[in-house]
Amino acid sequence: MAGDPRHSRVTLLLLLCGMLAGCGESHPRATQSNATDGSRNVPQELTRARETRSCKSLAQDQACAYYDRIESWLRAGTLRSRYVAGAVALVEGGCVTCHTYRNIGTQNLAAPDLTHEGAIRNATEIGRIIVCPQCVKSNSSMPPFKALPRRSIDELAAFLASSGR
Ligand code: HEC
Protein backbone atom coordinates (compact mmCIF):
# COMPACT_ATOMS: atom_id res chain seq x y z
CA MET A 1 0.00 0.00 0.00
CA ALA A 2 1.36 3.37 -0.96
CA GLY A 3 0.12 5.02 2.18
CA ASP A 4 1.85 2.51 4.46
CA PRO A 5 4.63 4.37 6.35
CA ARG A 6 6.85 1.26 6.26
CA HIS A 7 6.72 1.25 2.46
CA SER A 8 7.70 4.88 2.12
CA ARG A 9 10.62 4.31 4.53
CA VAL A 10 11.90 1.48 2.32
CA THR A 11 11.48 3.66 -0.78
CA LEU A 12 13.43 6.46 0.90
CA LEU A 13 16.23 4.07 1.84
CA LEU A 14 16.46 2.77 -1.71
CA LEU A 15 16.54 6.33 -3.03
CA LEU A 16 19.35 7.35 -0.65
CA CYS A 17 21.21 4.23 -1.55
CA GLY A 18 21.12 5.08 -5.24
CA MET A 19 22.25 8.64 -4.57
CA LEU A 20 25.26 7.51 -2.59
CA ALA A 21 26.09 5.13 -5.44
CA GLY A 22 27.41 2.23 -3.53
CA CYS A 23 25.36 -0.09 -1.38
CA GLY A 24 27.82 -2.92 -1.24
CA GLU A 25 28.71 -2.92 -4.90
CA SER A 26 32.40 -3.17 -5.43
CA HIS A 27 33.84 -0.17 -7.24
CA PRO A 28 35.85 -1.08 -10.30
CA ARG A 29 39.22 0.67 -10.29
CA ALA A 30 39.41 3.28 -13.01
CA THR A 31 43.03 2.71 -13.92
CA GLN A 32 45.38 -0.25 -13.59
CA SER A 33 42.88 -2.39 -15.46
CA ASN A 34 44.02 -5.79 -16.56
CA ALA A 35 42.54 -5.41 -20.01
CA THR A 36 44.35 -7.65 -22.42
CA ASP A 37 43.70 -5.58 -25.54
CA GLY A 38 46.43 -3.15 -24.46
CA SER A 39 44.49 0.00 -25.30
CA ARG A 40 43.00 0.41 -21.83
CA ASN A 41 46.13 -0.41 -19.94
CA VAL A 42 47.60 3.07 -19.84
CA PRO A 43 49.43 3.86 -16.60
CA GLN A 44 47.65 6.45 -14.49
CA GLU A 45 50.69 8.78 -14.52
CA LEU A 46 50.37 9.12 -18.29
CA THR A 47 46.62 9.53 -18.19
CA ARG A 48 46.89 12.24 -15.54
CA ALA A 49 49.69 14.04 -17.38
CA ARG A 50 47.66 14.03 -20.60
CA GLU A 51 44.62 15.39 -18.80
CA THR A 52 46.67 18.14 -17.12
CA ARG A 53 48.01 19.11 -20.52
CA SER A 54 44.60 18.76 -22.25
CA CYS A 55 46.20 16.49 -24.83
CA LYS A 56 42.83 15.52 -26.29
CA SER A 57 42.29 19.04 -27.61
CA LEU A 58 45.95 19.97 -28.22
CA ALA A 59 46.88 17.62 -31.04
CA GLN A 60 50.12 19.44 -31.90
CA ASP A 61 51.42 19.86 -28.37
CA GLN A 62 55.07 18.86 -27.94
CA ALA A 63 54.66 17.46 -24.42
CA CYS A 64 51.71 15.35 -25.61
CA ALA A 65 53.86 13.96 -28.42
CA TYR A 66 56.49 13.07 -25.80
CA TYR A 67 53.86 11.26 -23.72
CA ASP A 68 52.98 9.19 -26.80
CA ARG A 69 56.63 8.22 -27.21
CA ILE A 70 56.92 7.31 -23.52
CA GLU A 71 53.89 5.07 -23.97
CA SER A 72 55.49 3.45 -27.01
CA TRP A 73 58.64 2.61 -24.99
CA LEU A 74 56.40 0.97 -22.45
CA ARG A 75 54.58 -1.06 -25.13
CA ALA A 76 57.88 -2.08 -26.68
CA GLY A 77 59.05 -3.29 -23.29
CA THR A 78 62.02 -0.92 -23.17
CA LEU A 79 60.59 1.08 -20.25
CA ARG A 80 59.40 -0.67 -17.10
CA SER A 81 56.07 0.53 -15.78
CA ARG A 82 57.51 1.52 -12.41
CA TYR A 83 59.66 4.16 -14.15
CA VAL A 84 56.83 5.78 -16.11
CA ALA A 85 56.32 8.38 -13.36
CA GLY A 86 59.96 9.47 -13.71
CA ALA A 87 59.73 9.64 -17.49
CA VAL A 88 56.62 11.81 -17.20
CA ALA A 89 58.36 14.03 -14.62
CA LEU A 90 61.19 14.61 -17.11
CA VAL A 91 58.64 16.24 -19.40
CA GLU A 92 56.51 17.92 -16.72
CA GLY A 93 59.56 19.21 -14.84
CA GLY A 94 60.87 20.95 -17.95
CA CYS A 95 64.07 18.88 -18.07
CA VAL A 96 63.45 18.23 -21.77
CA THR A 97 63.84 21.93 -22.61
CA CYS A 98 67.61 21.40 -22.17
CA HIS A 99 68.15 17.66 -22.16
CA THR A 100 67.45 14.92 -24.65
CA TYR A 101 66.47 11.41 -23.61
CA ARG A 102 66.10 8.79 -26.35
CA ASN A 103 63.83 10.42 -28.93
CA ILE A 104 62.42 13.17 -26.71
CA GLY A 105 63.70 16.59 -25.69
CA THR A 106 65.82 19.34 -27.12
CA GLN A 107 69.38 20.32 -26.35
CA ASN A 108 70.13 23.71 -24.78
CA LEU A 109 73.10 25.11 -22.87
CA ALA A 110 75.05 22.07 -24.08
CA ALA A 111 73.17 19.92 -21.57
CA PRO A 112 74.17 16.27 -21.93
CA ASP A 113 71.89 13.56 -23.28
CA LEU A 114 70.47 11.60 -20.34
CA THR A 115 69.66 8.33 -22.14
CA HIS A 116 72.56 6.47 -20.52
CA GLU A 117 72.77 8.46 -17.30
CA GLY A 118 72.42 5.31 -15.18
CA ALA A 119 75.73 4.04 -16.54
CA ILE A 120 77.62 6.86 -14.83
CA ARG A 121 75.50 7.95 -11.83
CA ASN A 122 73.30 6.38 -9.19
CA ALA A 123 69.93 7.69 -7.98
CA THR A 124 71.42 9.53 -4.98
CA GLU A 125 73.86 11.50 -7.14
CA ILE A 126 71.18 12.31 -9.69
CA GLY A 127 68.84 13.51 -6.93
CA ARG A 128 71.56 15.83 -5.63
CA ILE A 129 72.20 17.26 -9.09
CA ILE A 130 68.51 18.05 -9.57
CA VAL A 131 68.24 19.98 -6.31
CA CYS A 132 71.64 21.67 -6.47
CA PRO A 133 73.75 21.11 -9.59
CA GLN A 134 76.40 23.56 -8.36
CA CYS A 135 76.87 21.49 -5.20
CA VAL A 136 78.03 18.63 -7.39
CA LYS A 137 79.86 20.67 -10.05
CA SER A 138 80.60 24.26 -9.07
CA ASN A 139 80.52 25.66 -12.62
CA SER A 140 77.40 23.78 -13.75
CA SER A 141 75.04 25.93 -15.78
CA MET A 142 71.99 23.86 -14.88
CA PRO A 143 69.46 25.74 -12.75
CA PRO A 144 68.62 24.20 -9.37
CA PHE A 145 65.16 22.60 -9.09
CA LYS A 146 64.56 23.22 -5.42
CA ALA A 147 60.82 23.70 -5.80
CA LEU A 148 60.18 20.29 -7.37
CA PRO A 149 58.23 18.02 -5.00
CA ARG A 150 60.47 15.45 -3.28
CA ARG A 151 58.41 12.69 -4.85
CA SER A 152 59.11 13.92 -8.40
CA ILE A 153 62.82 14.20 -7.62
CA ASP A 154 62.88 10.61 -6.36
CA GLU A 155 60.93 9.37 -9.39
CA LEU A 156 63.24 11.23 -11.77
CA ALA A 157 66.35 9.94 -10.01
CA ALA A 158 65.11 6.32 -10.00
CA PHE A 159 64.13 6.51 -13.67
CA LEU A 160 67.41 8.07 -14.84
CA ALA A 161 69.53 5.75 -12.67
CA SER A 162 67.79 2.78 -14.31
CA SER A 163 68.60 4.11 -17.79
CA GLY A 164 71.40 2.77 -19.90
CA ARG A 165 72.88 0.27 -17.54
C1 HEC B 1 68.15 25.26 -18.41
C2 HEC B 1 68.68 24.02 -18.90
C3 HEC B 1 68.53 22.77 -18.03
C4 HEC B 1 67.38 22.27 -17.48
C5 HEC B 1 65.97 22.83 -17.60
C6 HEC B 1 67.76 21.05 -16.82
N7 HEC B 1 69.09 20.81 -16.94
FE8 HEC B 1 70.11 19.21 -16.24
N9 HEC B 1 71.83 19.98 -16.97
C10 HEC B 1 71.95 21.15 -17.71
C11 HEC B 1 73.34 21.36 -18.04
C12 HEC B 1 73.90 22.51 -18.84
C13 HEC B 1 74.06 20.28 -17.49
C14 HEC B 1 75.56 20.04 -17.55
C15 HEC B 1 76.19 20.74 -16.37
C16 HEC B 1 77.65 20.56 -16.34
O17 HEC B 1 78.09 19.41 -16.13
O18 HEC B 1 78.34 21.53 -16.52
C19 HEC B 1 73.08 19.43 -16.83
C20 HEC B 1 73.40 18.26 -16.16
C21 HEC B 1 72.48 17.37 -15.65
C22 HEC B 1 72.80 16.07 -15.10
C23 HEC B 1 74.20 15.48 -14.99
C24 HEC B 1 74.52 14.88 -16.33
C25 HEC B 1 75.90 14.27 -16.39
O26 HEC B 1 76.01 13.19 -16.96
O27 HEC B 1 76.85 14.88 -15.88
C28 HEC B 1 71.63 15.50 -14.73
C29 HEC B 1 71.42 14.11 -14.12
C30 HEC B 1 70.58 16.42 -15.05
N31 HEC B 1 71.13 17.55 -15.61
C32 HEC B 1 69.24 16.19 -14.83
C33 HEC B 1 68.24 17.15 -15.05
C34 HEC B 1 66.86 16.95 -14.69
C35 HEC B 1 66.30 15.68 -14.09
C36 HEC B 1 66.20 18.09 -15.04
C37 HEC B 1 64.76 18.43 -14.80
C38 HEC B 1 64.29 18.45 -13.44
C39 HEC B 1 67.17 18.99 -15.63
N40 HEC B 1 68.39 18.39 -15.61
C41 HEC B 1 66.86 20.23 -16.13
C42 HEC B 1 70.92 21.97 -18.07
C43 HEC B 1 69.61 21.85 -17.69
Dump pLDDT digits (tens) for 62-97: 999 999 999 999 999 999 999 999 999 999 999 999
pLDDT at 8 (0 to 100): 58
- β-sheet bridge partners, residue 100: 105
Q: Please tell me if the CB atom of residue 16 comes closer than 6 angstroms to any atom of ligand 1.
A: no
Question: Greater confidence, 12 or 136?
Answer: 136
Domain boundaries, the chain: 39-162
pLDDT at 15 (0 to 100): 42
pLDDT at 59 (0 to 100): 77
CATH class of residue range 39-162:
mainly alpha
Nearest CA to 53 out of 65, 63, 41 is that of 63
Give the Å distance between the CA of 56 and the centre of ligand 1.
Answer: 30
Rg of the chain in Å (alpha carbons): 23
Dump pLDDT digits (tens) for 92-142: 999 999 999 999 999 999 999 999 999 999 999 999 999 999 999 999 999
Q: Please tell me if the CB atom of residue 87 comes closer than 6 angstroms to any atom of ligand 1.
A: no
